Amino acid sequence: MYKYDSIDATLVAERSAQFREQVGARLNGELTEDQFKPLRLQNGVYLQLHAYMLRVAIPYGVLNGAQMRKLAHVARTYDKGYGHFTTRQNIQYNWPSLVDVPDILDDLASVEMHAIQTSGNCIRNTTTDPFAGATADEVADPRPWCELIRQWSTFHPEFSFLPRKFKIAVTGSAADRAAIGVHDIGIQLVRNDAGELGFKVFAGGGQGRTPMIAAMVADFVAKRDLLAYLTAILRIYNLAGRRDNLYKARIKILVNDLGADEFTRQVEEEFLRLKDGALSLPQEEIDRVEAFFTSAPADERPATAHPSSNFSRWRLWNVKPHKVPGRAIVIISLKPHGGTTGDASAAQMDVVADLAEQFSLDEVRVTKEQNLVLPHVAQADLAEVYTALEGAGLATANAGLASDIVCCPGLDYCNLANARSIPISQEISRAIERSGLEEAAGELTIKISGCINACGHHHVANIGLLGVDKKGVEFYQLTLGGVADGDAAIGKILGRGLGASEAVQAVITVIRTYLDARLGDEPFVQTLTRIGLEPFKEAIYA
Amino acid sequence: MRNDASFALAEDIANGANDNLAIEIDGAAPFAEVERMAKGVDQIAIRFEKFGDGRGFSLASMLRERGFTGELKAVGDLLPDQVGLLRRAGFDQIASEVKPQSPRWKHGYFSHAYQPAAQGEEPAYRARTLAARQARVDELNQRYADASPDQIIAAAVREFRGRIATLSSFGTEAAVGLSILARVAPETPVLFLDTKQHFPQTLSYRDQLIEKLGLKNVVSLQPEADELVKEDDEARLFETDTSACCQLRKVRPMAKAMVAYDALITGRKRYHGGERTDLRPFEFDGERIKVNPLAALRPQEVTAIFRTLDLPQHPMAAMGYPSIGCWPCTAPADGAGTREGRWAGQDRTECGIFDPSLVERAARTRSYRLI
Amino acid sequence: MKAITANRLTDGRVVYRCRNGAWTEALGEAIVFEDEAEGQVTLAEAAFDHLTVVDPYFIDVDDASPAGHKAVREGIRNGGPSAGSLHTGLLRTNLAEG
């Protein structure tokens, strides 16, 4: 993975020093809260319901053992002993003190980590496929491009005060495990007829209040032109994005208002002016960054067995094929039945750090499903890895299954929430386990958001739940048929909101209805397309 | 398609049209309007209604990119924490209306930058790339210190695969380098600066060599038609300003083409004298890598190669022209195998295409031309 | 009835305005008003306390407990998250860590 040179390290250290000074200025009144707020947001510091929340960046979801161990250290030293992995491949701490954050940032800087631009009206963490560099279905590894985008977007003089937040996702594979269709900019690595690597660029996707799928703006941007192209898009957005209405300020509204054709025309015009100038990426820099991202050597040793009956289930669902012979991609589920999705204790993080170093070429990834991935485990080591995970409560065999729920922090933590999401996700998870239907149903995505901001990505779930507040009582609205990866699709609303226990029951009913109607082993979305919403509505509301 | 209604600012000021004209514009103004208002103006103040409204940063950046050289001032609601960003976006002055006396107004927290900017630090990738190029050149010079022209060309083509070209004037000595290239690395593009002011003999010699050597990839670089009309309509610029004429016909077309290449093979030799006496096989000029495979060649060896390979001579070599460029600035001279006769009577020996600062400035101006 | 709440600047913790102008984490110790009109002056004073707290506002209370439409939300602010790692024993059963 990428290693900082002195420029990267200096910038992170200087940022940390800057924030320390800014905290001091807030504490002594030099800065008002209104002035301080955007500054602290650009360092990932939120003020939530009952504490500050710190969102630490995990650039494109990639970590090494030392970094994971440092995250554990932060959880133990400054927080309540746990952290929460997010739907944008970052980690959040729910209880840091503002006065401790400068020290936390210094601690993070010592392992090349930071909390830069994880919030605020700026370009956020660029996310990608958690299987990057390990999967056979990628055209090329997206991670070097994520790193180049990360650097280009950090402390950008022009784009640090955008109309609203800006999220970029990159996929190296057409399978798109990065959900580029619902990002402000989505980038897909492709090859042209001459075999040259380039980018298909999409813009204007997003979830939230007005979910939209991104439109294609360029079918091939050459490698050296990537930054110039992104600059053109950001510049159009910075100048024309709405600043009068918070709910209409994302680029998706601009693309929708202008129409994709006009938007594209404006971008192309600006791009032509910028092309071949100072924004051209030198081949040396591309080479330099690409060299950090290697794959794994083959492993010849034979696979080993494991006595536990759960092992074969775990092997079936949580282990994915690797492009290199003798290796495998391991998904560590952070969704124990009845647990809090995406949470890991400091001790668990330490276990994962050890496993990464010992068994995964010192690499671990965070997924937008709020799980972790060990990308390069040798087949021969699977049994040993499983044993260690089981001992730490990290071996739930449900990756991609119904109880692999994605859930935002919700009203238990978040200022913006209308309803709690964690308790209902726990109930749903337990209900699914009790029902015994999980393995029969196979891959099925359930995602829950506590408010319309959709941080739980409920719009793109097969079964989505949106928490709403009706006169102080929490209700949940179901949507069906969303898809995050590949051909992204927004789910359709099923009917009126349901109370918590009704909603839990409804989810089980949806799964039963699907299983009853399913032909062969067709996936949920296919059944839904075939039979429509009616059977589900009837089963739930009749 | 570029519309070249150029930004008239610099000329107006030069003509003394406006004395210290200053305007203030709202950060919310559309850029087209800002552009229009900025014509002939010395100072533009851009107002930030709220420090979180970042449009002013784009307005400033775009004005700078499109050639505005006047003063840019940021006014209104600003935070000291924005100083570094404002500076890099192109502002010269900041006049905050919020706590202007605060001690926090110190300049810039960051000693590096990741992006190109109107002013301030160069992007990190530039420093890294230039350092990498210098290191590469040092290493190559060590390895190929005493190599033959063939070996140097072969090594260069291997090292910079796909990003290397050669430049040829198809002048008196051109055939030497071209014959080696045709043998060792025939797919390498041969860039020819067709200035529109070549001797007809040069053009026919070019065609003759292309055929004789079987050159497959000769690329003709020409000045932009609209620039020719604007800057040298009557093709007489050489009479008043040969530097400007070289800029138009050689330096700028060269800059545009060089975007696609990291390395350039030249025909330069030490015995040409002047700046060339210490030429090494590989050279880093601060921007790109130049490969000089013929650096160590002596005049006798040049003659020998012509003879052995039965290469045709440039028709004017025998007429007393040791070095041949464009016809207005090339005179016959004594001193065979030298650059005597080039810009005779002027204080110049080089046109500027090998001067990286001229080339880079031309590249940047070209790309950021105001539309 | 109304009380005034805010978040403490230094650590973000939930606090309530007391009779003597101090801030307490215990809702039971908070000063309570009949309605917002009665508490306006105190709220204004609280707003001046910008070096101690952030964004003070009124909440509905009934017998030292959050009440009204925001009861769930203010209950969580008062008592901590209703769910999550702190309240789910599952994640801790296999580990020595407390």
**Largest Cα span, chain A:** 67
The label of the residue with tokens 């590249």 reads B363
Catalytic residue among B245, B246, B326, B351: B351
- Nearest alpha-carbon partner for A400 in A317, A468, A478, A320: A317
- The pLDDT assigned to B12 comes to 33
User: Is the CB of B129 less than 8 angstroms away from the CB of A282?
Assistant: yes
Nearest to B58 among A152, A239, A275 (CB): A239
Averaged pLDDT score across all residues of chain A? 96
In tens, the pLDDT along B268-278 reads 999 888 888 88
- Residue B106: band (very low, low, confident or very high) from pLDDT cuts 50, 70, 90: low
Categorize the per-residue pLDDT at B8 as very low, low, confident or very high, splitting at 50, 70 and 90.
very low
Q: Encoding tokens for residue B363?
A: 């590249």
Query: Cβ separation of A27 and C50 shorter than 8 Å?
Result: no
Which residue from A minimizes the CA distance to B108?
Answer: A18
B55 and A273 within 8 Å at the Cβ level: the answer is no
- Of A310-319, B193-202, B359-368, the range with the lowest mean pLDDT is B359-368
Task: Work out the minimum CA distance from B87 to partner chain A, whole angstroms.
Answer: 8
Point out the residue among B61, B132, B133 whose CB comes nearest to the CB of A158: B61
> How many domains, in total, are found in chain C?
1
In chain A, residues with a C-beta closer than 8 Å to the C-beta of C71 are 472
pLDDT of residue B172: 85
Cα–Cα separations (whole angstroms), residue B351 to A27, B166, B316, B364: 61, 17, 20, 19
| pLDDT, position A334 | 97
Closest by Cβ to A238, choosing from B55, B81, B115: B55
Q: Which residue of chain A comes nearest to C72, CA vs CA?
A: A472
Summarize pLDDT for B87-97 with one digit per residue, the tens.
Answer: 999 999 999 99
Question: Could you give the percent of chain A with pLDDT greater than 70?
Answer: 100
B351 classed as catalytic: yes
Record: fold of A135-290: Sulfite Reductase Hemoprotein; domain 1 (3.30.413)
Give pLDDT tens digits for A138-188.
999 999 999 999 999 999 999 999 999 999 999 999 999 999 999 999 999
CB < 8 Å & 24+ apart, contacts of B315-318 = B315/B201, B315/B204, B315/B205, B316/B172, B316/B199, B316/B201, B316/B202, B317/B172
Q: Taking the C-alpha atoms of A38, A39, A42 and A47 in order, what is their torsion angle to the nearest 10 degrees?
A: -70
On the CB side of A471, how many CA atoms lie within 13 Å of its CA?
0
- Distance, in angstroms, between A360 CA and closest chain B CA? 30
> According to the model, what pLDDT value does residue B134 have?
94
Q: Is A286 on the interface with B (CB under 8 A)?
A: no
pLDDT band at A332 (very low <50, low <70, confident <90, very high): very high
Q: Which of B221, B197, B236 is nearest to B324 (CA)?
A: B197
The 3-state secondary structure of B10-22 reads HHHHHCCCCCCCE
Question: Which residues in chain B (118-177) have CB-CB distances under 8 A to chain A?
Answer: 123-129, 132-133, 163
Structure tokens at B81: 């924490």
Supply the DSSP symbol for A295.
-
**What is the model's pLDDT at position B326?**
87
**B28-84 pLDDT, tens digit each:** 999 999 999 998 899 999 999 999 999 999 999 999 999 899 999 999 999 999 999
Contacts of B369 in chain A (CB under 8 A): 273
Shortest distance, CA C58 to any CA of chain A (angstroms): 15
Neighbours of C44 (CB within 10 A): 10
Contact: A156, B102; criterion CB under 8 Å: no
Q: Kindly indicate whether the domain formed by A309-391 is annotated with CATH number 3.90.700.10.
A: no
Top-level class of domain A6-109:
alpha beta
CB contact under 8 A, A239 and B30: yes
For residue A236, the chain B residue with the least C-alpha distance is B58
pLDDT at B359: 59
Query: Which residue among B2, B58, B364 sits closest to A158, beta carbon to beta carbon?
Result: B58
Instruction: Indicate whether A1 pLDDT > 60.
Output: yes
pLDDT above 90 (res B105) = no
pLDDT at site B46: 96
The chain-wide mean pLDDT, for chain B, equals 84
- Residue in A with minimal Cα distance to B106: A18
Q: For domain A406-541, which architecture applies?
A: 2-Layer Sandwich (3.30)
| Per-residue pLDDT, B340 | 67
> Which of A345, A370, A430 is the best substitution to test chain C (most C C-beta atoms within 10 A)?
A345
- C2-61 pLDDT, tens digit per residue, is 999 999 999 999 999 999 999 999 999 999 999 999 999 999 999 999 999 999 999 999
pLDDT at B259 (0 to 100):
80
Question: Rounded to a whole number, what is the distance in Å from the CA of A458 to chain C's nearest CA?
Answer: 20
d(CA B97, CA B349): 55
pLDDT of residue A192: 97
* Residues of A engaging C, defined by a Cβ cutoff of 8 Å: 26-29, 32-33, 47-52, 80-82, 94, 97-99, 336, 338-340, 343, 345-348, 391-393, 411-413, 420, 422-423, 426, 469, 471-472, 474
Neighbours of chain A (3+ CB pairs under 8 A): B, C
Closest partner residue to A277 (CB to CB) among B53, B79, B368 is B368
Provide the total of helices (H) and of strands (E) in chain A, helices listed first: 17, 21
pLDDT recorded at residue B235: 87
Partners of A39 on chain B (C-beta within 8 Å) are: 79, 81
Q: List the end-to-end C-alpha distance of chain A, in Å, as a whole number.
A: 54
Does residue A160 sit at the B interface (CB-CB below 8 Å)? yes
CB < 8 Å to A225, chain B:
none
Would you call B177 exposed, middle or buried from its count of C-beta atoms within 10 A (0-12, 13-18, 19+)? buried
- Do strands B93-96 and B71-76 pair parallel, antiparallel, or not at all (unpaired)? parallel
C14 with A471: Cβ contact below 8 A: no
Amino acid A318: pLDDT: 98
Q: What is the pLDDT of residues A100-114, one digit of tens each?
A: 999 999 999 999 999
Strand A319-321's sheet: what is its strand order? A62-63, A364-366, A372-378, A327-332, A319-321
Mark yes or no for CB contact C68/A49 under 8 Å.
Answer: no
* Residue A477 · residue A454 · CB < 8 Å: no
Give the global pTM.
0.88
pLDDT at A276: 87
Residue B355 confidence (pLDDT): 66
* Amino acid B107: pLDDT: 52
A135-290 and A309-391 in the same fold? no
B 251-310 residues inside an 8 A Cβ radius of A? 256, 259, 262
Query: pLDDT of A463-487, one tens digit each?
Result: 999 999 998 899 999 999 999 988 8
- Residue A86 has φ and ψ, to the nearest 5°, of -110, 175
Q: Are A and B neighbours with ≥3 CB pairs closer than 8 A? A: yes
A contacts of B129 (beta carbons < 8 Å): 282, 284-285
> Least CA distance to A33: which residue of chain C?
C54
B56 CB burial (10 A radius; 0-12, 13-18, 19+): buried
* Domain extent listing, chain A: 6-109, 135-290, 309-391, 406-541
According to the model, what pLDDT value does residue B17 have? 45
Length of chain B: 371
CA A104 to chain centroid, in Å, comes to: 23
Is the pLDDT at C84 greater than 70? The verdict is no
Q: Do C83 and A393 touch (CB under 8 A)?
A: no
Looking at residues A131-137, what average pLDDT do you find?
97
Task: Tell me whether residues A157 and B30 touch, CB distance under 8 A.
Answer: no
CB contact under 8 A, B109 and A17: yes
Lowest mean pLDDT among A292-296, B107-111, C14-18: B107-111
Contact B172, B209 (CB under 8 A): no
* pLDDT value at residue B255: 85
Tell me the average pLDDT across A198-223: 96
Element (H, E) at B178: helix B174-184
A420/C72 touch (CB, cutoff 8 Å), yes or no: yes
Partners of residue B59 in chain A, C-beta under 8 Å: 239
- Alpha-carbon distance of B150 to B166, in angstroms, equals 14
**Full residue range of the structural domain in which residue C44 is found:** 2-97
- Partner B contacted by A32 (CB < 8 A): no
| A248-264 b/e (C-beta count within 10 Å ≥ 16 → b) | bbbbbbbbbebebeebb
User: B354: distance to nearest CA of chain A, Å?
Assistant: 19
- Higher model confidence: residue A522 or residue B348? A522
Helix residue spans in A436-499 (DSSP H)? 438-441
Chain C residues touching chain A at CB-CB below 8 Å = 7, 9-14, 50-51, 54-55, 68-73, 76-77, 80-86, 88, 90-98
A interface mutation test: which of B1, B114, B128, B137 has the most A CBs within 10 A? B114
